[in-house]
Amino acid sequence: MTRRLSFAQWLAVSWLLLVVVSACIAPTSSPVPDLLHTQEPPFQDPHWLGTDPLGHDVLQLLLAGARTTLLISIPTAVLASLLGGAAGSVAGFWGNSTYQVQRASAAAGVIGAVIALLFIPQLRTNPFPVGLVIGVLSCTVYYALRRTSWGQRQIAVPIDSMVQALIALLDSIPLLLLVLAIAAVQRPSSMGLVVLLVLTCWTTPARLLRAVTLRTKALLFVEAAVVAGLPTLRILRYHIWPNTWPVLLIRLPLSIAIIIGLETTLSFLGIGLAPEVASWGRLLASIRVAPAAWWLLVWPGAAIFFTILSLHTLVSTKITGFDKHLDVTK
Amino acid sequence: MGRYLLFRLGRTVLAAWGILSIIFLLTRWAATDIGLQTLQDAPTLGRGLSVGEQTRIAQQVRQRYGLDLPVFYLSVLTSDTDTPAWHPHWHWNGTRNQYHRWLRGVVQGDLGNSYREGTPVTKLLLQALRYTLPLTVSATFLATISTVLLASWVNYYNRWRGLVLAILHGIQALPLFLVALGLLLLLANPDALNWFPAFGLGDDTEQYSSWSEELLQYLRHLVLPVFSLLLVALPGFVVQLDGAMQQELREPYVATARAKGAPPVQVVRKHVLHNALLPVLPLFTELLPSMVTGSVVVEMVYALPGMGRLFVEAAAQQDLPVLLGVVLLVAIARLASQLLADALYQWADPRIRLHI
């Protein structure tokens, strides 16, 4: 799998390294505005990239923005890929009829869940005793039903349909609108924004991995493993997963790029991150106050452009190494 | 076919209902107080009132907008002293709740009143659509045509293909708001090139000598927003269609067509294009919803009083009825375009039989 990087890829990697380094050296405290030099053009001694209308140094804002971008986009992309990958693999592998449980345990689970839902307030105030009571109750139900012939029959859990329904639910509204609507009302912190983005962005990796898993499942060695009687989790771990996870890996730079685009758009619109958090999108938004200040557009714009372009370059060249028929960019 | 469409329709309506309900409940539960804050800041309420009067007025406003009702059919009882510990702390509210009223209103075509302006949301949406619809529809139309033209062109003139694809690859790395801002500051800036007006869609108060001049003015205002939407949508589509065409060009029927003496342009236009369009058809029907999403950004940058602007302002000021109204409209647009995709599939390739 070791491949030599092309020139464009070297450029991309070095730009991304530069972004990472600048995120590391960025000042942690919010910079003090230089009120004597507001909206200063670039290439002058103290502020080499100019200042914004409030007197903040653009270079410092760029560095701090790089850190915000990385801290939001990388965890989000990784977590969304993992969540979507897990959901997609499970949906693709088990389908609608393969995963079966005893009616007894299904009934016990349903009863336990219903009781837990009914007693949410009590569960919140003192989780341990109430949870214990509910657990004991559903265990009793399970052991009572296990002996009966009704309880011993198997029923299939339609995992595939459930995952597909969730995906359809999230996909019925464009991602930007969904995130905007929820972020506007919830006013999330940086952490909350990551959670929100993960919960809304996992659908594409899930669809991708479901397709790949379906294809891998039909191959002979998986059938052989099933016939040999290997446990399901072991088949997933050692037979399916090694063939499907590269897809997630290839897609990761693209996911990061999409999330960077989304995050900067949110900050540009003034919704999402708190006002004191520096962000490339917020820096760009300040140009609406000062339309003559071209440096407020050029520097953060170039930063966003080169970062996303580098990530795209990594995707489009790496794809040749793996399954050529698979289009991860969809 | 009919059964399939009906099934599809039912499924998508169900999904849209689900996500709208989730957004409704999430926003109502999170924003009961903040939404009320917007109400109290409304200009109808004078300043300098005593605290008692203010709370009374707030109560009245709550009642007018139905915010005094519980949010959902079920609510958690807060006073747990008079109920025994083993009793579920839920209260059944019946149909007198905000969710039921909202849903009934939506089914009857009434989306409630805006918190900010007090006018019906449907009226606001219709006003906004007057601006958004020309913008998005013309952008969709132009994007479709230019995608087909550009993809056919690069497949015929092969030596430009690498360059055009590289440029498109670069454009793809630009988020929409960056493109819109860049065009605005380059082409509608008194300090740079002042070719196009920077905001709005023409002044209503200004008198034009003829309708043609008015139309020209209108189009001048529309050029930059439409162009930025077009520029961002184009790369993905051209790359997809180009890939499909490259695959088709290797098929034996292309060799047959060439062998019987068809000129290369005709081969691309008449033979290859038709077959290559089929796999990218679903992408094209996603175009209109994605344009509507893009109009959120474009209308903010170019200060057009359209739906996207309405949405962002409603989001910033937590005007929940307007927020939900816009989301509902976009969901409907998406639903319609998905159904259109299915119908188009049938029309483009009668061999395809869609079934459940």
Verify that A135 and A165 share a domain, yes or no.
no
- In terms of domains, do A116 and A24 share one? no
Same domain, A41 and A180: yes
Residues B339 and B9 sit within 8 Å (Cβ to Cβ) = yes
By residue count, chain A amounts to 330
Q: What is the DSSP letter of B330?
A: H
Q: State the pLDDT at residue A322.
A: 47
Same domain, A269 and A305: yes
Q: Are residues A173 and A232 in the same domain?
A: yes
Task: Tell which of A156, A171, A195 closes a domain.
Answer: A156
The per-residue pLDDT for A324 is 47
A99-103, A308-312, B280-284, range with greatest mean pLDDT: A308-312
The string of pLDDT tens digits covering residues A5-14 is 788 888 999 9
pLDDT tens digits for chain B (356 residues)? 677 778 878 887 888 888 888 888 887 777 655 455 555 555 555 556 667 777 777 777 777 777 777 777 777 666 555 555 566 667 777 777 888 888 888 888 887 778 777 788 888 888 888 888 888 889 989 999 999 999 988 888 888 888 998 899 899 889 999 999 888 888 877 666 777 776 666 555 556 667 777 777 778 888 888 999 999 989 988 988 998 888 888 889 999 998 999 888 888 888 888 888 887 887 777 888 888 888 888 988 888 888 888 888 888 777 888 888 888 888 888 878 877 877 777 777 777 666 55
Burial zone of B346 (CB within 10 Å; 0-12 exposed, 13-18 middle, 19+ buried)? middle
Strand stretches in B212-291, DSSP E:
none
Rounded Cα distance, B230 and B233, in Å? 5
Residue B267 lies in a domain: yes
Question: Does residue B71 sit within a domain?
Answer: no
Q: Residue A328: is its pLDDT beyond 70?
A: no
Angle between helices B307-316 and B320-348 (to 10 degrees): 140
CA-to-CA dists, residue B218 to A282, B180, B193, angstroms: 31, 18, 19
Closest Cβ opposite residue A177 in set B185, B192, B293: B293
Distances (CA, A) of A73 to A207, B52, B174: 20, 48, 16
Looking at the fold, whether A193 and A303 belong to one and the same domain comes out as: yes
B173 vs A173: CB contact, 8 Å cut-off? no
Q: Cβ of B77 and A121 within 8 Å? A: yes
List, in order, residues 6 or more apart from A317 with CB less than 8 Å away: A6, A8, A9
| pLDDT of the residue at A320 | 46
Number of structural domains, chain B? 1
Beta-carbon contacts of residue B2 (< 8 Å; ≥ 6 apart): none
Determine which of A54-63, A230-239, B81-90, B184-193 has the lowest per-residue pLDDT on average: B81-90
pLDDT for residue B215: 78
Kindly state whether residues A34 and A60 are assigned to the same domain: yes
Residues A248-264: pLDDT tens digits?
888 899 999 999 999 99
Q: Looking at the domain assignment, is residue B353 inside a domain?
A: no
Which pLDDT band holds residue A330 (cuts at 50, 70, 90)?
A: very low
Residue A175: domain span: 7-98+158-323
**Residue B180 placed within a domain:** yes
Q: Which of A181, A264, A269 sits opposite B323 (nearest CB)?
A: A181
Averaged pLDDT, A40-50:
77
Q: B356 in a domain, yes or no?
A: no
Domain housing B127: 121-348
Q: Do A133 and A193 share a domain, yes or no?
A: no
pTM of the model: 0.83
**CA nearest to B30, candidates A160, A301, A240, A188:** A188
What pLDDT, on a 0 to 100 scale, did the predictor assign at position A224? 92
Does residue A216 belong to any structural domain of this protein?
yes
Residues A108 and A214 placed together within one structural domain of the fold: no
Contact A173 B16 (CB under 8 A): yes
User: Is A230 found in the same domain as A112?
Assistant: no
Number of domains in chain A: 2
Subunit contact A265:B293, Cβ cutoff 8 A: no
Q: How far is Cα of residue A71 from the mean position of the Cα atoms in its chain?
A: 12
Q: Give which of A254, A256, A288 is closest to A269, Cα–Cα.
A: A288
On whether residue A124 sits in a domain, the answer given is yes
A30 lies in the same domain as A172: yes
- Helix residue spans in B41-120 (DSSP H): 51-64, 98-107
Q: What is the CATH number of the domain that holds B131?
A: 1.10.3720.10
For residue A69, the one-letter residue type is T
A210 and A90, same structural domain? yes
The Cα–Cα gap between A142 and A117 comes to 19
Q: Is residue A204 part of a domain?
A: yes
Q: How far apart are CA B87 and CA A122, in angstroms?
A: 9
- Is residue B41 domain-resident? no
Assigned domain for B85 exists: no
